[in-house]
């Protein structure tokens, strides 16, 4: 039994407390205290349901030099995540039931965050032949996506949506038009011209989202079940507007935004530092502001990390050659707590929802509210400020575009079904 004393509670329903939370048998036993062997002083901290990340690259199998299940899932619990969806763009891609099963079993044995693998929508993520959705789901896949690749053939995406619909599996898309994006390494526009770098235009995202929404309309018309489209890492104002209109028209579409698109802009590229190179690219301030509005009005369902670890040697190459990607599992919540809630007054309740019930809904999971009887997959967050120090990351990617930023809201205790999986109490 664990007792967390005098702690404020925050979930998608709101804030309350301070209360004394008694945890045992994997559940919240009482919000009125009780006897426990381990007592944690929660004064000044707040307790939230465990976070779910819809989008993390853990690189296993094949690129364990960048990350593996152990380092990635340890980074996850240190970031307050009790559940995580791993992307299938590994080497080889996760496109068979055997591969999904192997990941699930290995992750379970580690006893850290719970892994929910995404499987490739097409064999080898080549965009041609669909994978066996039913068998992948039976093996434990919760989402189908060719993430990292851009599903050029609309007919294949349509067939994928039709195949996944009766299973209730969402299909997630990396919405960038390959032709418009070309070899862009940053946002297209005057700054890219000034820096002499190839640009990736906002229209590459918007054009692809527009197409994918038409594909969804078609699948909806042709399927007796509801096809579900999830748009990954939205980065543009126009892309957001398209999703907003589609939602208003009742289309079954959901969307996520990343910590980097919510806190950084293309201005960071003035340094020519590949730490800021990511796909889709960091955009302008107007796009970032639009994303913040999208978080508030429900156009965005979730904040998802797109945690994309690479080796430092790769990220130290020049901007044209370095790989795309930003690691963020360990800083995502403190970053948004500080930059959105503390600095801009973004409601804490909604922020927590975007890390918990929002992503849970995308996967069709029930909400997790802090009540007696609720599963004790929880995170205790400490508002005390600390600077970001990537040298202390559990992730193998020990670098960060946010190095030195002073943040509050650090996870100091993470529990999965009542078991402590991360503890950094002072
Ligand atoms: O920046 C990115 N990195 N975007 C992607 O779509 C893929 C990811 C990766 O796997 O490194």
Binding site membership of 304 for ligand 1 (Cβ less than 6 Å)? no
Q: Is 68 annotated as a binding residue?
A: no
What's the rounded Cα separation, in Å, for the pair 50 and 352?
Answer: 10
The CATH number of whichever domain residue 264 belongs to comes to 3.20.20.140
58 is in an annotated binding site: yes
Q: Is 422 annotated as a binding residue?
A: no
Residue 8 lies in a domain: no
89 is in an annotated binding site: yes
Catalytic annotation, residues = 306
306 is in an annotated binding site: yes
Quote the ligand 1 centre to 57 CA distance (angstroms): 8
Residue 380 CB contacts under 8 Å (≥ 6 apart), including other chains = 4, 7, 40, 42, 45, 46, 47, 411, 412, 413, 414
Instruction: State which of 87, 148, 176 you would mutate to test the pocket of ligand 1, scoring each by most atoms of that ligand within 8 A of its C-beta.
Output: 148
| Pocket flag, ligand 1, residue 278 (CB < 6 Å) | yes
Q: Is position 54 annotated in a ligand binding site?
A: no
Asked if residue 324 has its Cβ within 6 Å of ligand 1, the reply is yes
Query: pLDDT at position 426, please?
Result: 82
| Residue with CA nearest ligand 1 atom 6 | 148
Alpha carbon of 280 to ligand 1 centroid (Å): 8
**Residues forming a β-bridge with 387:** 406
Residue ranges making up the domain that contains 224: 50-363
CA of 354 to the centre of ligand 1 (A): 21
Residue 98 covered by a domain: yes
Annotation-wise, does 324 bind a ligand? Answer: yes
Ligand 1 atom closest to residue 89's alpha carbon, by position in its atom list: 10
* Residue 2 counted as domain residue: no
Ligand 1 centroid to 47 CA: how many Å? 31
Per the domain annotation, does 195 fall within a domain?
A: yes
Taking the centre of ligand 1 as the mean of its atom positions, its distance from the CA of residue 259, in whole angstroms, is: 14
Distance in Å, CA 31 to ligand 1 centroid: 42
Mutate which of 151, 308, 401 for ligand 1? The one with the most ligand atoms within 8 Å of its CB, which is 308
Instruction: Give the pLDDT confidence score for residue 138 in this predicted structure.
Output: 98
DSSP string, 94-157: --SHHHHHHHHHHHHHHTSSEEEEEE-SBGGG-SSSB--HHHHHHHT--EEE-TTS----HHHH
Residue 22 within any structural domain of the chain: no
Pick the atom of ligand 1 nearest to 148's CA.
6
Q: Which residue has 């967050």 as its token pair?
A: 381
Residue 198 belongs to a domain: yes
Ligand 1 nearest-atom number relative to CA 309: 11
Query: pTM for this one?
Result: 0.98
Q: Mark out the alpha helices in 196-265 (DSSP H runs).
A: 202-222, 237-248, 259-263
3 state DSSP class of 342: helix
405 lines ligand 1 (CB under 6 A): no
Asked whether 174 lines ligand 1 (CB < 6 A), one says yes
Is 425 inside any structural domain? no
Is the beta carbon of 422 within 6 A of some atom in ligand 1?
A: no
**Ligand 1 centroid to 141 CA: how many Å?**
20
CB 400 within 8 A of CB 259: no
Cβ atoms of 51 and 64 within 8 Å: the answer is no
With respect to residue 141, please indicate whether it lies within any of the assigned structural domains.
Answer: yes
Residue 391 is classified by DSSP as G
Tokens of 217: 């309309």
Q: What value, to the nearest 5°, has the Cα angle with vertex 105 and ends 101 and 107?
A: 115
DSSP class per residue in 162-193? HHHGGGT--EEE----HHHHTT--EE-SHHHH
Q: Whose CA is nearest to atom 4 of ligand 1?
A: 279
R_g of the chain computed on alpha carbons: 21
When divided into structural domains, the chain yields a total of 1
What are the phi and psi torsion angles at 15 (to 5°)? Answer: -115, 145
- Chunked into runs of 10 residues, the chain (426 residues) has average pLDDT values of 98 97 98 96 98 98 98 98 98 98 98 98 98 98 95 97 98 97 97 98 98 98 97 98 98 98 98 98 98 98 98 97 98 98 98 98 97 98 98 98 98 98 94
């Amino acid at each position: 039994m664990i007792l967390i004393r005098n702690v404020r509670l925050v979930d998608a329903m709101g804030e309350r407390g301070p209360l004394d939370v008694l945890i045992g048998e994997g559940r919240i036993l009482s919000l009125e205290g009780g006897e426990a062997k381990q007592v944690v002083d929660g004064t000044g901290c707040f307790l939230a349901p465990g976070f779910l990340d819809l989008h993390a690259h853990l690189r296993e199998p094949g690129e364990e030099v960048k990350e593996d299940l152990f380092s990635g899932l340890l980074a996850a619990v240190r970031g307050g995540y009790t559940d995580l969806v791993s992307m299938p763009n590994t080497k080889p891609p996760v496109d068979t039931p055997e591969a999904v099963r192997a990941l699930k079993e290995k992750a379970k044995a580690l006893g850290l965050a719970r892994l929910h693998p995404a499987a490739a929508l097409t064999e080898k993520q080549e965009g041609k032949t669909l994978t066996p959705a039913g068998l992948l789901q039976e093996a434990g896949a919760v989402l189908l996506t060719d993430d990292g690749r851009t599903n050029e053939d609309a007919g294949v995406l349509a067939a994928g949506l039709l195949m996944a619909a009766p299973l209730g599996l969402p299909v997630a898309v990396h919405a960038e038009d390959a032709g418009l994006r070309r070899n862009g390494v940053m946002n297209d526009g005057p700054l890219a011209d000034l820096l002499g770098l190839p640009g990736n235009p906002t229209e590459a995202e918007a054009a692809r989202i527009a197409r994918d929404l038409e594909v969804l309309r078609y699948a909806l018309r042709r399927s007796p079940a509801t096809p579900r489209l999830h748009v990954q890492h939205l980065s543009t104002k126009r892309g957001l507007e398209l999703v907003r209109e589609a939602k208003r028209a009742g289309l079954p579409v959901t969307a996520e935004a990343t910590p980097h698109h919510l806190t950084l802009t293309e201005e960071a590229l003035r340094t020519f530092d590949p730490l800021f190179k990511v796909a889709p690219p960091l955009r302008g301030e107007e796009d970032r502001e639009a994303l913040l509005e999208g978080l508030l009005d429900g156009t965005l369902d979730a904040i998802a990390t797109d945690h994309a670890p690479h080796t430092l040697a790769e990220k130290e190459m020049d901007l044209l050659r370095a790989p795309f990607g930003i690691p963020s599992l360990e800083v995502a919540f403190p970053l948004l707590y500080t930059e959105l809630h503390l600095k801009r007054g973004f409601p804490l309740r909604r922020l927590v929802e975007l890390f918990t019930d929002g992503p849970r809904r995308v996967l069709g999971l029930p909400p997790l509210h802090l009540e007696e009887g609720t599963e004790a997959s929880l995170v205790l967050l400490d508002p005390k400020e600390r600077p970001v120090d990537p040298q202390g990351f559990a992730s193998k990617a020990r670098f960060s575009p946010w190095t030195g930023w002073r943040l509050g809201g650090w996870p100091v205790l993470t529990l999965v079904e009542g078991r402590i999986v991360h503890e950094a109490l002072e």
